[in-house]
Structure 1
Amino acid sequence: MPMDSPELQDYKDYLRVDSDDEDYQIEGFVLAAKGYLLNAGVKDNAHGELYDVVVKMLVALFYEHRDTADKQINIPPIMNNLITQLSIVSLKSEGVSP
Structure 2
Amino acid sequence: MFRAIGNEELGRGTLGHSLHMLLAEDPDFPSSTRSAVDELMRQSELDCAVRAIIIAVTSAQNPHDELEHVLRSHPALLESEWMCDIRATLREFGCFSLY
Q: What TM-score results when the alignment is normalised by the length of structure 1?
A: 0.29
Structure number having the greater helix percentage:
2
Q: What TM-score results when the alignment is normalised by the length of structure 2?
A: 0.29
